[in-house]
Structure 1
Amino acid sequence: MPAVRVWLLFLLLSPGLASAESLRLVANPWPPFNDQKLPGKGLASDLVEQALKRAGYSTSYVEVPWERAVRGLQRGDYDVLINAWYSLERTNYGYFSQPYLVNRLRFLQRKGDEIRFENLADLYPYSIAIIRGYAYSKEFDNDPHLLKVGVGSFENAARMLHAGRVQLALEDELVARHLLARELSSIRDELEFLPLPLSENGLHILVRRSHAQHHEIAERFDTAIQTMRDDGSYAETLRRHSP
C-alpha cells in the first residue's frame, strides 16, 4: 500500500490525534513571559509553542486580559491557557501540565518604607495591590486578614504604590524588573523589593477539561518539554530571552 494511503488510513483510525492537531492558545499580556511585541511572543509563549509543535500540534495564539482568558477557556473559546499557576479551583475547568517555568513572587514597597515581612501576619497593617483573578499562593489567597486591592495590571499596581494609594505591590520578580526597566522607568528608583519572596510558583499550561484530549495534550506537552531540556533547546530559549 502506498505510504500516503497508509498515513491517511492511520488518521482515519486515530480520531483523537486528528482532532488534536490544532490548538487555540491564549495568554494575558505579561512581559517578559507573554507579549506579542517581544521576540517569540515572550519566554513562556516561545517555550510553549515550541513544545506543542514538537508534540505534533499546530497552534494559533491570542492575548487578552487575564479574566477574559479564563472565561474564554471556561466557555471553550480557547483550548490552552499557557501561563497559569496552580489552584484547586482551576482544576474544575482545566487540566494542568507539569510546571515548565518557575515564578518567584516578591513584594515591592516605596523605597525607605522599611516594611518587614517574615510571615503573612506582618502584612496585616498594609494594603497590597494584586492583579484581579490571579492565584498567588494558597495561604496568601485564603487569608481573610490581608487587605488586597485588585487592579488590572502590574503597571497600575506600581503607579498606585508610587502614589501612596497602597503600601505594597506583588508581582513575579522578572515581570516587575522588566517593566521597571521600560514602561515604569520613571519611578524605578523610588520602589524596591522586600528581601523575602512570598513564594515560588510553577508556571503550567492549563488545558480546558471540555477538550476530549485534555489529558493527552498535557502529557505530550510534558514529554516535549523534557526532550527540550535534554537536547539543550530549552536552555537556549532561556538564553535567547535573557535581558
Structure 2
Amino acid sequence: MRTDYAISTIYNYTLLQKRHVGLSVRKLVYFLLVITHSFFSLSAFSQQLTAVVGLQNGWPPYVIDAERPTGLSVQIVSRAFALSGYYLDLRITPWSRALKEVQRGADAVLIAAWYSEEREQSMIFSDPYLFNEISFITLRKNPVDWGTYQDLVGKSVGIIRNYAYDADFMSTDKVKKIPAADLVTNIRKLQTERIDLIIEEYRVALWTMRQHNIPTNIFQKVYPNVSYNGLYVAAGKLNPNAQKYITAFNAGLKQLIDSGELQHLIEQFDEVTN
C-alpha cells in the first residue's frame, strides 16, 4: 500500500460524499481517518510487498471505478493480501474480458467473483469474504408476489451476461430471461416497463440508481431473496501462481476475521454509505 493510494482514496471518498446525499461530513471524516490509518500503517513495509494483479469490473459500492479504485471489496481484499505480503494492483476491466483472461490463465485474480460449478472447472476460489443478498426488483406500481418460480410464469427478468446467478433460477423455464450488457441498462428497461423484473444485489442496484439519477422510490425489492451469494477471490487453474495467490489471500482473510478487523471494515463502510 503506497502513500499516494491513501491520499487518492481520501479524494475518491470525498467525491462519494458529494454524490451520496445520505453521507454526513462527520461520518465521512471518521471513516477516512480509519482507512487512512490502515493505508499509512502498511506504507512502512510496502516496498517489501509482492504485486498481485487484480482484474475486476466497476461494481459499486464493492468496486468503485476511480483514479485509484476503492470500495468495500477493494478494501477487504487489499488488506487481506497485504497481511500475507502482497500488494493488490487492481485494474478496472470489463467483466466479460476480466473473466476470460483469468480463466485462460492470466497471472491475475478476480477480486469479487461469485462461485458456480461451471466456473470451478477453470478457476480456484478463495474462502468467501462477504455475502450478497440477491433479489428480484420490480416497479412499485407493479408489485409481484413470489414464493416459487411458478408464481413468475410469463414474467420477463433482466439479467447481465456472464454473471453467475443462482443455479435454480438459471435452470427454470418458468421465466423469460432477457440478457443485457450491464445493470444500468436493465434498470432503465425496468423503469420503462420493457421488462417485468431485474435480479440483482439490492445494495448495488440502489447505488447504481443514485449514480445515474434514477429515482429509487419507484422501485421495490421483492421478498424473499432469490439467493445469498458469497464473494470470492478467484484465480485461473491455468495460472501457475493461482494456488499461491488463493492460499495467501485466505491466510490474510483469516487474520482479518480473527482480529475483528473484517467486521470493523464492513461496519465502518456501511455507516458511511447507508
**TM-score (norm. length: structure 2):** 0.76
Instruction: Tell me which of 118, 123, 131 is aligned to 1:89.
Output: 118
In structure 2, the residue matched to 1:240 is: 268
Residue 195 of structure 1 aligns to a residue whose secondary structure is strand
Question: 1:38 Cα deviation (Å)?
Answer: 9.1
Residue 229 of structure 2 aligns to a residue whose secondary structure is strand
Question: 1:40 Cα deviation (Å)?
Answer: 6.0
In structure 1, the residue matched to 2:176 is: 147
Using a 3 Å threshold, how does the CA distance of structure 1 residues 186 and 174 change in structure 2: closer, same or farther? Answer: closer
In structure 2, the residue matched to 1:31 is: 60
Question: 1:37 Cα deviation (Å)?
Answer: 2.8
In structure 2, the residue matched to 1:206 is: 234
Amino acid at match of 1:45: V
- Kept after mapping to 2: 8 A contact 1:26/1:78: no
Alignment gaps of 5+ in structure 2? 1-48
In structure 2, the residue matched to 1:124 is: 153
In structure 1, the residue matched to 2:109 is: 80
Instruction: Tell me which of 86, 93, 99 is aligned to 2:128.
Output: 99
Residue 256 of structure 2 aligns to a residue whose secondary structure is helix
Q: Determine the C-alpha separation between the residues in 2 that align with 1:194 and 1:106.
A: 7
Using a 3 Å threshold, how does the CA distance of structure 1 residues 202 and 141 change in structure 2: closer, same or farther? Answer: same
Q: Determine the C-alpha separation between the residues in 1 that align with 2:227 and 2:194.
A: 24
Aligned residue-pair number? 223
Using a 3 Å threshold, how does the CA distance of structure 1 residues 177 and 186 change in structure 2: closer, same or farther? Answer: closer
Which deviations, in whole Å up to 9, do the C-alpha atoms of 1:37-95 show, x marking residues without a partner? 39861101111111111112223111122111111112334510111111111112210
- Kept after mapping to 2: 8 A contact 1:130/1:148: yes
Using a 3 Å threshold, how does the CA distance of structure 1 residues 78 and 145 change in structure 2: closer, same or farther? Answer: farther
Amino acid at match of 2:129: Y
Q: Determine the C-alpha separation between the residues in 2 that align with 1:144 and 1:214.
A: 36
Amino acid at match of 1:147: K
- Kept after mapping to 1: 8 A contact 2:114/2:230: yes
Q: Determine the C-alpha separation between the residues in 2 that align with 1:78 and 1:160.
A: 37
- Kept after mapping to 1: 8 A contact 2:54/2:108: yes
1:51 aligns to 2:83 (yes or no): no
1:193 aligns to 2:221 (yes or no): yes
Q: Identify which range, 37-46 or 152-161, moves more after superposition.
A: 37-46
Using a 3 Å threshold, how does the CA distance of structure 1 residues 233 and 150 change in structure 2: closer, same or farther? Answer: same
- Kept after mapping to 2: 8 A contact 1:162/1:187: no
Q: Determine the C-alpha separation between the residues in 2 that align with 1:78 and 1:213.
A: 7
Question: 1:195 Cα deviation (Å)?
Answer: 2.0
Alignment gaps of 5+ in structure 1? 1-19
Residue 134 of structure 1 aligns to a residue whose secondary structure is coil
Give % identity. 26
- Kept after mapping to 1: 8 A contact 2:62/2:72: yes
RMSD, aligned CA? 1.9
Question: 1:224 Cα deviation (Å)?
Answer: 1.1
Q: Determine the C-alpha separation between the residues in 2 that align with 1:82 and 1:240.
A: 20
Instruction: Tell me which of 71, 79, 83 is aligned to 2:100.
Output: 71
Q: Determine the C-alpha separation between the residues in 1 that align with 2:217 and 2:246.
A: 41
Question: 1:184 Cα deviation (Å)?
Answer: 4.0
Q: Determine the C-alpha separation between the residues in 1 that align with 2:146 and 2:233.
A: 31
**TM-score (norm. length: structure 1):** 0.85
Q: Determine the C-alpha separation between the residues in 1 that align with 2:198 and 2:67.
A: 25
